[in-house]
Amino acid sequence: MVELSVSTVKLSKKVLQDPLYFIAFGFGSGLIKPAPGTWGTLAAIPIYLLFAGTPWTVYVFFTIFAFVLGVYASQKVSSDLGVHDYSGIVWDEVVGYLITMFLAPPGFLWVIVGFALFRLFDIWKPEPIRFIDRKVKGGLGIMLDDVIAALMAWILLQLMAWGFM
């Protein structure tokens, strides 16, 4: 049986009632443990599939909008919680996955490859990701380290797709 603390129950209610918490927690996926970042990335897959067939300009516009919204929501929620980069704040993973999958080849295999590459760089945090993670604070810091991880994953995904690896 799973025991829920009072604070977990309150946080779950807040995520379902407050739109900024709902976004920051990746539509609630950030409440799932263990590995909320992985669950947040999984929550990004349907969003990617929804936008995958759109013109690239629509995809980029939506991704930029999601990033800006994420900076604001992450800042607000982390301030409310009193914790910088609380593990349940996973909108950065959602945006990171969208960046990773920009112009990805069609097919379920690429959905999985993009997922794996993004999680690899997000968890591993090679430089400069680690530097950004340590030095840039607030909502921008929460989002930016995942953007850099996503760009690294995107480069590798594109190299694989074009047959350079």
Please give the Cα distance from 119 to 110 (Å, whole number): 14
Count CA within 13 A, CB hemisphere, residue 120. 13
Tokens of 147: 């953007």
Domain boundaries, the chain: 19-161
Per residue in 73-105, pLDDT tens? Answer: 999 999 999 998 899 999 999 999 999 999 999
Tell me the torsion sign for CA atoms 124, 128, 134, 136: negative
Per residue in 24-62, pLDDT tens? Answer: 999 999 999 999 999 999 999 999 999 999 999 999 999
Q: Is the pTM higher than 0.85?
A: yes
